[in-house]
Each structure stands twice: as structure tokens, then as C-alpha cells.
Structure 1
Amino acid sequence: MMVEPIHDNTTIVYYVSPDGVVLHLSGGASAGTQGFTLGEGPEGLGHAEAAAIFDKGARQVGEEYVDSTFDHGELDLPIYVEGRTVDEFHRRRDWLRQLISRDRQGWLCVFTTLGWRMLAVRRGSIKPAYGSDPAVDRYAAFDVLLHADHPFARAYNGDASEWVNKNGLIASGHMELHPGPEVDGWPKFMFTGPGMLQLLYDGIDGPVDLRFPPIFVGETLKIDTEYGMQRLRARAANGKERNLWPLMQAPMEPSPIPAGVVTTVRFSVAGGSAATKLWGTVPRFQEGLL
């Protein structure tokens, strides 16, 4: 995927197809050069809809707030399609439908002074809003409805922390991770051997204690704690991988870290060397692309 460098504070809007094709919809020198332009009045770029859950009982005055739930998100974008010829207009209109798939997720990406935010989206509908015969004008507006399975936009990861072992065979330390203010975050780690790693931190479901089998010199262990996405494979420099699940001394029961809280992850390493490293981060999600 190729994107242009950003030299000012302009708000930029891209759509990136599931196959990596970038449409420059708004902002920047390339906006509109492909024949697609974001129109006025887009809806859903700045928020995610929450449905409040209340509880009530007999003879109770009012209702008691319990929590909120977030359904899928919806964004309504007016996109103008233009061609130098009638044939080019029709081809670009059909191409827009091919790029925005119902079955595969693409990404709507917005750049502001706070950096990039991205939202995985799929097509709901693309409705023409013809004001005149497009065969004459070689130009038409389309109301593009996008569905977001996960209504929160992905922001930049929390600041990556890296630790390098300088104290010999046995060492310990800590790093701080922050998932952002909106959504609880599942930490991700990368451990370079040699050594045996233990991670300790407070998740929303209680203390987490993760102890991993020995990692050899030159191997890298990628640890994704997200529920349903956990992986425990050590990869050597030559590409050979080891499955570490059978070697775990205890079940891997991670928990996300709470939103809005800087969480301290404590760790210890046994059998390390000067080559031993630990890197940690946590995804951040924000309400709205703007």
C-alpha cells in the first residue's frame, strides 16, 4: 500500500480495499486524482453508538443503569465519481463497488493532528443519487453506506516498551502499558531468547501470571494474549518454528488490562544473556475517526 507523505495539518481520508488499493478521497495532493471525492455531510465519522442497559423492578421509581453495549457501527459517506469520458465514469463506478466488498473488510483511514485512526468496514449499500443523466455529465454522486463490525476505530498502539537484558543470567524489571481511554486492551509481547520468561500484571479479571518454557538463543517468541487469538510459537532465525503449548507448565489464562489505566507489567527472566530482549505493546481503540 502506497500513501503520500504528509506535510501539513490537513485532515486526510483514505479508503483501503481488502487487497490494498488506496482511494484518496479527501485531503492531500492526491485527493480526487483517481476520480473519487468525498462529498459534504458524511455521517458516523465522529462517534460510535451506545445502547444503555437498564434494570427495573416492581414499584421502582425510574430505572437503574447497568451498563452499555455497542452494536456494529454505520457510516454514511457521499462519494462523487467522475470520469473524463462516459465509459471511464461507468468503469470507475463499477470499480468502486468491487473495491468496497460486502464479504471482506477494507479500511477507512483518517489522519488528523492526533495521527492515524482506522476502522475496518464492509459495504452495506452504494446508492446512486443522480441529479441528471450521468451519461451527459460523466459525473454522479453515490450514497455509500459502510458497516463496521467493531464500532471503535483503531488508533496507534500504546508506546512500545523494549527491555534489553544487561544483568546476566537472572534479571527482572517492569514496563508500563496503556490501552487508551475507551476499550480494555489485550497486551502483545515479543521475547528474544535465550531465557525463561514470566509476566505478571493486573487484568480486569484479576492478577495474571504467565510462565513460558525456555527460549533458545536466536529464537523469538510472539505472545498475543487476546482471547481466541493466543499463540505460542517460537521462531528461529532460519524460519523453523516450535509449538510451545505442550511445554507450558500452567494454563495460559490472560486477561485484558483496563481502559484508562496505565498498567505495570512486571517480568523476570532466568537463563538470559546479553542477547535477551522483551518488547511489549497494547492496541488502542478510540471512539470515532475524527
Structure 2
Amino acid sequence: MVVANSAGGETRVTLHYDGGRHRYAPWQAQPGSPVQRLAPDQVTLAPDGQAATIRLPAAPVQLLIAQPPESLDDVLAPFEARVRAGQLQRVDVGHSLARRPIASYWHRPPAARGTIVLITRQHPPETTGPQAFAHFTDLILGDSVAARAFRANHALMIVPLANPDGFVLGHWRHNLGGVDLNRDWGPFTQPETRALGEAMVRAAGVAPILAVIDFHSTQRDVVYAPPRPSGPDLGEAMLQAIASDLDGASIRIDRAHNPGNGVLKSSARDRFGVGALTWEVGDDSPAERTRRLAEAAALALMASARSERTMR
């Protein structure tokens, strides 16, 4: 990063990307004003996308350049509150390379018909996917009649931070070992994927896994969903809810299945024979749209679970 000041007081910040391209639109906040995206003429991209220059007008305030502050404790706090309330049980399924706990949160009814696995933050800088994850889990863990009925018959394995080292250290995609965790569900060379994969196998031994939903972010709204297997597929109803035209903007559904590529959805489908989805929320998708889609998907999942046809 290079910071320069012009004679008129304007500040220019140039970001250089080593092995990557500019992706996230910059935002700014003035004291007492809401956060706003910078105007298009304030951001200039290099032709190859590997550098971006941001122009900031002179202002009589201190300039701070940062991400919105969010700590590991902030990410886990909503689930820790549910643990204290007796709704969830925390299980540290293992430790990262830096010995940070890999936290999972469980709901285990006495006679569960199956297990739903919800996971996010394999890739540290992605924020919109975790937002959808938060809305989705809030609804499923809520106090509605539908949510209580769903939880009476289904176990939940919830993983809000699959890559704790990468998150804390500000990595782009990798864990501390320099590995993209969402290419390691098969080799299982890293402690995070190994611990979470073993936890899923143990869960399946108690109550069969019925759906695996992995929340991410990318440049656009897209759901990667391998072809429906012969087994139960609660994720299919959820997929249709996500794909529904809630506000006039369609969502791309990609049905490609790439066994052996180390991606969680492919590994889970082949290991457990169920519907597994990678839900990618667009980097710039409106927050309200993301909330509505997440809640519609959660409602569809719970409604589908009431049908005996989806059960083993």
C-alpha cells in the first residue's frame, strides 16, 4: 500500500495486490454520518486489476484505514449467549495450527431424525455469506412454532468460524498452513478440515446427515448445488427458495459436481449421499435482500423437513 498527499491536501491510497485482484468496493464514514460507498470517480483500477488507487478529499479529521472491527469473540458471541441460555452446547472439535479452538455449536434432541450442518468463514475476508448464515441460524434457533417443531426432530451442527487462524491474522483465503480449506475436504491435510470432517462422521453415526450448507461470498449471488443424489435432500427445498425471484433479481444455480476437488459440498455429497450446497452471497448484495433470502431458505428447509418423503 502506498499513501501520498497532493498539494491540495487530497490523499491518494494505492493498493497493490500480490497474486490477486482488486475485489471489494471501498467505503468511507465521516464523523456523525453513515457509512457510504466512495464515488466511482474516486477509485481507479489498473488495467490488470492488480492495483487500485483511491482518492480521498482533504478533510480536517484523522484518516483511519481499516475493516469494520470484528473480533473472534464478536463472531462467536451470539452462539455463546445461546450456550449460556441452555439452548446450544459448545463442542471444540479440535484446534487450529495456532492452537485456537475450532468451535462448533450443537443442538441434539433425544430422538433426532437427522443432522443439519451449517458452516461459514472458511475464507476470512468474506462477510456477506456470514451475514446470510447469521439470519439463517437466527430463524432456525428462534422461538416460532415452526422452529421449535424443527428442532424437536433434528440435530444441528453449527460452525460459525471454520478458519480461526486465517480470520484473526487477516488472511485472504488460507489458514495458517497456507492452504485454502475449501480445497482440503478430501485430502484433509489441515487440522481444521480434519477435525470438522471427523465431527460430521461422528454426527452421522448418531443421526444421519440430511443437509450440509456452506456459506460464502463472491462477486455475485450464486448457489453451487451438485445434482440431487438418491438419498434424502432437505437442501433441495431450500435451494428453490433461494432461487425464487423475491425481488426481481435472479440467482444463478450451478449444478456442476466435481468429485475429488476438495470442496466441502462435493465431499459431503459423496461421503454422506445427501444434498450439499455452497451458498455464495454477492459482495455487494443489499443487506435486506440477503436477510429475506436467508429467512426464506430457512423456512423452506424447515417446511421440507416436515415431509416424511425427505427422511431416510
TM-score tier by shorter-chain length is: under 0.3
Return the index of the structure with the highest Cα Rg.
1
TM-score (norm 1): 0.26
TM-score (norm 2): 0.25
Using CA pairs below 8 Å that are at least 6 residues apart, which structure has the higher relative contact order?
1
